[in-house]
Amino acid sequence: MKKLHLLRLLLVCIGMAGAFASPVKAAVEININRGNVQPLPIAITDFVSTDGIGAQISAVVEANLKRSGLFAPVSRGAFIETISNPDQPPRFADWTVLKAEALVVGRISREPDGRLRAEFRLWDTFAGQQMTGQQFFTQPENWRRVAHIISDAIYERITGEKGYFDTRIVFVSESGPKTDRKRQLAIMDQDGENVRMLTSSENIVLTPRFSPSRQEITYMSFEGDQPRVYLLQLETGQREVVGNFPGMTFSPRFSPDGQRVIMSLQQDGNANIYTMDLRSRTTTRLTNTNAIDTSPSYSPDGSQIVFESDRGGRQQLYVMNADGSGQTRISFGDGSYSTPVWSPRGDLIAFTKQSGGRFSIGVMKTDGSGERILTTGFHNEGPTWAPNGRVLMFFRQNAGAGGPQLYSIDLTGYNEQQVRTPSFASDPAWSPLLE
């Protein structure tokens, strides 16, 4: 058993191979490395339960998988078989006739101590084999989290890669008129549910970023008109100042080990990149130019940093070693490039590109080759990666709109969706998978 301190969640995962169907290497799979991925037809039944929570959990699982763009859930109105006992093999012919290549069944029950017991099985309907089966124990208030974990298990079993559903997004919630816009830090599940505020609206907040190793975020706040970088512990709500800086501070981000923060400090009209050791609070300067160097982001192994700079006349992307050496320009397309973010997989860099009066979200290889634009609009900005490196979230403001909204898009560029929030929203940052 593993205790998740942040949600105070007791969660146990137990395999459910079953004597009648051992998990095998089934034919059902999705090759997500191909350019054009055909969504897999999958049937997701209401999980058996006595109080309706089973239907709620299976609905979240279905919504997660559909939103990924990799799965095409079969309409429940077409189901022939009603699953009343998920421990028994289904009537496979009733599902293959619907062209459902995979089938998800489950049960939700309550333990004597009040905990929920959630069980599911994933079947390959054409092979007639169980692909995986697991069960979880948790407190009733954490039922949505169980749905996300089940979604990740299905995603990983069929695609061969980690999912991203059991994650959260921290963002800047914006409310009020443009002339008096209030900005607060907020956090939510990756699907836009369970929104809660982390700060008050008394001070402007910007650029929240997750730690890769702890339930902690870093962000900027203007308190008393003085820019400060803060660390906020999500578990306890404890906040501490990383440093008070006389000049403007931009885009603080964690190093991959969570021991340092990298940021841009402005002095005498220029901005350069610095790292700060969070234990000793000592800073190290990495760039020294008469330009504006900002928006640094580490590679996942911590050996390199991508950043933007106008040293060549307009904003372009550069890569350097972690000690500041070997600064090399990598973007050469028309327009200006900004907000670079290194993929968790290490293979791509996401960016914002401004050209022809429009803003695009794109990706390129780490040497600058293979640039691809995923989406273009009136104003798109601030990409952030899902922890599996397959999906991006960003914020967009359409012409004439009252404020920005969050959107997600996958690496194919075809699966773009709005992530609805209670208010205007900007500066999203995606968490690692929860532990």
| Closest listed residue to residue 150, CA positions, set 137, 161, 166 | 166
Higher pLDDT, 318 or 206: 318
Helix residue ranges, H only, 72-224: 92-96, 143-159
Q: Does 23 score more than 50 pLDDT?
A: no
- Distance set, CA 175 to CA 57, 190, 195, 326, 426 (Å): 31, 21, 14, 43, 11
* Spatial strand order in the sheet of 168-175: 196-197, 182-189, 168-175, 424-430
User: How large a percentage of the chain has pLDDT more than 90?
Assistant: 74
Q: Does 405 score more than 50 pLDDT?
A: yes
Within 8 A by CB and 6+ apart from 52, the residues are: none
Q: Kindly report the average pLDDT of the chain as a whole number.
A: 90
The pLDDT confidence band at residue 21, using thresholds 50, 70 and 90, is very low
Mean pLDDT of 411-418: 93
The pLDDT confidence band at residue 32, using thresholds 50, 70 and 90, is low
CA dist., res. 271 & res. 291, Å (int): 7
The pLDDT confidence band at residue 246, using thresholds 50, 70 and 90, is low
Judge contact between 61 and 76, C-beta under 8 A: no
Mean pLDDT of 383-401: 94
Longest dimension (CA), the chain: 73
Please name the amino acid found at residue 53. I
Q: Does 140 score more than 90 pLDDT?
A: yes
SS3 category, 147: helix
Within 8 A by CB and 6+ apart from 218, the residues are: 208, 209, 211, 229, 230, 231, 232, 242, 252, 253, 254, 261
Mean pLDDT of 181-205: 91
* DSSP category for residue 166: S
| Closest listed residue to residue 319, CA positions, set 290, 301, 296 | 296
Phi, psi angles (nearest 5°) of residue 329: -75, 140
- Hey, what are 189's tokens? 């599940």
Mean pLDDT of 396-404: 88
Judge contact between 391 and 409, C-beta under 8 A: yes
The pLDDT confidence band at residue 363, using thresholds 50, 70 and 90, is very high
Mean pLDDT of 282-287: 94
Residue 267: the pLDDT is 77
Residue 396: the pLDDT is 96
Tokens 């640094």 sit on residue: 296
Tallying the residues shown for the chain, one arrives at: 435
Using left for φ > 0, alpha for ψ between -120 and 50, and beta otherwise, residue 430 falls in: beta
Q: Does 5 score more than 50 pLDDT?
A: no
Higher pLDDT, 187 or 228: 187
* pTM metric for this prediction: 0.91
Judge contact between 393 and 430, C-beta under 8 A: yes
Strands (DSSP E) contained in 95-181 are 102-110, 116-124, 129-138, 168-175
- Hey, what are 331's tokens? 């973007």
The pLDDT confidence band at residue 1, using thresholds 50, 70 and 90, is very low
Q: Does 10 score more than 80 pLDDT?
A: no
Most confident of 227-241, 248-262, 405-419: 405-419
Dihedral angle sign, alpha carbons of residues 77, 165, 32, 372: positive
CA 200 to chain centre: 24
Q: Does 323 score more than 60 pLDDT?
A: yes
Q: Kind and range of the H or E element at 60?
A: helix 53-67
Strands (DSSP E) contained in 194-347 are 196-197, 204-210, 216-223, 226-233, 239-244, 249-254, 260-267, 270-277, 283-285, 293-298, 304-309, 316-321, 328-329, 336-342
SS3 category, 4: strand
Residue 19: the pLDDT is 36
Q: Does 359 score more than 70 pLDDT?
A: yes
CB atoms within 10 A of CB 186: 22
Residue 391: the pLDDT is 97
Residue 331: the pLDDT is 97
The pLDDT confidence band at residue 18, using thresholds 50, 70 and 90, is very low
Mean pLDDT of 309-323: 95
pLDDT digits (tens, 9 = 90+) for 47-101: 999 999 999 999 999 999 999 999 999 999 999 999 999 999 999 999 999 999 9
SS3 category, 184: strand
Residue 173: the pLDDT is 95
SS3 category, 27: coil
Residue 223: the pLDDT is 76
Mean pLDDT of 152-172: 96
Tokens 């973010």 sit on residue: 341
Query: Which burial class, exposed, middle or buried, applies to 133 when counting CB atoms under 10 A from its CB (0-12, 13-18, 19+)?
Result: buried
